[in-house]
Amino acid sequence: MSLERFLALRAQFDAFFYESYRLSEENGTFTCRFSYRLQGRDRIIPFEHSVCFTEHDTPFLSVSDPLLRHAVFLLGMAESVSYWKLACPEHFTVCAGAFSPEESSFWKKLFTRGFGEFYWLNGIYGHVPDDGYVQIDSLPDAVIHASRSAETSGCLVPVGGGKDSVVTLELLKRLGTVLSSNPPHDAGTGPAGAAGPAGSPAMLPECYLLSARQASYDTAEIAGYGADRRTEAFRTFDPQLFRMNREGYLNGHVPFSAILGFSAVVAALLRGRRYIVLSNEGSANEPTVPGTWVNHQYSKSLEFEVDLSEYIHRFLTPSVTYFSLLRPWSEARIAGEFSRLTSYHAAFRSCNRGSRENRWCCECPKCLFVFILLAAHAGVPATAAMFGENLLEKEMLVPILDELAGFAPVKPFECVGTVAETRWSLERILETGWCEPGRSAWVLADRYAAMRPPGEAPAFRMTEPELAERIPALFRRIVLEGYAHV
């Protein structure tokens, strides 16, 4: 039925337009406003979307600066995904600016690979050629902006409230020590990039929070980043988007991390920051559906990171570098580091379903995956205390366990790690003697013990140094030399 609905809506709405963007400032708040239009044979539906950024000091770039305005224009392209997906028109016309053919290819790839889960769950994947999901063009007489340099320095770290960004913040506390001992050429200049004592205010990065949940504020505070060291942004959707979702227009997952990336670029230019330091791990590269390009975490993958980083440098500015500090690490390695950071254990949250109430729902794939990984390092009792209950006792989670452990054909459509590290973690739980399979109430441990393939659990590498090649030298030293391997 979803495929039929997709084809019917495509026939009804043949075009989507990114019409305009506007940037204004008032009392330290910078507001980006975007206008879109969904056009059909007998109906035109306009949308208005906005993103507001807080600014504590005089902004690095003014609202009239062409570089900042170009970054805002690109953010409008990223934000358009939520409105385009309502009917997925084949023709997407950009009226607000212009693209070179190379830029159009980047966006076409994002609107294809970034929607892999959307196409799969809506029954669309495989029924449309890879190059047939969307055609993106700009007006022929629009001016194409050239890349421009700026004197940026220091770091901006997106914080989501989960274990990954916490580990990044803790790793970056060593920045002062590393710089003092041997500052590399790409360390940046100015106060935020200058050498100083480990953990000194000059060396601490700034946090970036996008429509943040409570856990983001809590973990940032524990790490030492108060309101004066945070840049925040808030998204406001057109109410008509939600009405159309209720009416049966197409709905589903969008590449949120791409939106986060482009909004972080705007924030970096407002703050004059050189590095956008992500916390995406190597495990995000594994497809959700084996043998396909369908990956729930596509916009967290190394492939997208490379594409976006090169896009920023070629078509916007070489003065902002986008990379993930944790790319060489597996989720299991990150969990091992986080298990020792006990001051965060009561505050962090990774559950999307319970994010509004700042709780673990204890019923979703993300909750179970994080529980299994942490239990392998911190122990089941300590992990149960973090979650409020022992998830290994919940029989209702057996189907999710099967997906995580590779006993089902498709992994959960969630930000979870690889099958191999799930099995490794379960093997470690069994080996510790915390439970006796067949004799305990730990239903999921018993399930895994009964279902696991004969022989050893699949091998995987906790750290893959080759994935650190794109990390700037300063930060590469921190992530590869900062801690001993688990």
Structure tokens at 118: 């959307």
> Residue 213's CB: how many other CB atoms inside 10 A?
19
Q: How far apart are CA 16 and CA 14, in angstroms?
A: 7
Q: What's the pLDDT score for residue 96?
A: 93
Q: What's the pLDDT score for residue 201?
A: 44
Q: What's the pLDDT score for residue 184?
A: 46
Q: What's the pLDDT score for residue 190?
A: 33
Amino acid type, 182: N
Q: What's the pLDDT score for residue 80?
A: 98
Mean pLDDT of 466-471: 91
Q: What's the pLDDT score for residue 141?
A: 72
Give the global pTM. 0.92
Structure tokens at 117: 């889960």
> Residue 31's CB: how many other CB atoms inside 10 A?
16
What are the structural domain ranges in the chain?
A: 331-340+354-451
Instruction: Please determine, for residue 307, whether its predicted confidence score (pLDDT) is greater than 80.
Output: yes
Q: What's the pLDDT score for residue 130?
A: 86
Among 58-67, 393-402, 434-443, 463-472, which is the least confidently predicted range? Answer: 434-443
Mean pLDDT of 76-101: 95
Task: Write the pLDDT tens digit of every residue in 382-422.
Answer: 999 999 999 999 999 999 999 999 999 999 999 999 999 99
Place of tokens 């590469």: 476
Instruction: Please determine, for residue 250, whether its predicted confidence score (pLDDT) is greater than 70.
Output: yes
Q: What's the pLDDT score for residue 81?
A: 97
Instruction: Please determine, for residue 350, whether its predicted confidence score (pLDDT) is greater than 80.
Output: yes
Higher pLDDT, residue 446 or 361: 361
Task: Write the pLDDT tens digit of every residue in 93-150.
Answer: 999 998 888 999 999 999 999 999 999 999 999 999 988 899 999 887 776 777 889 9
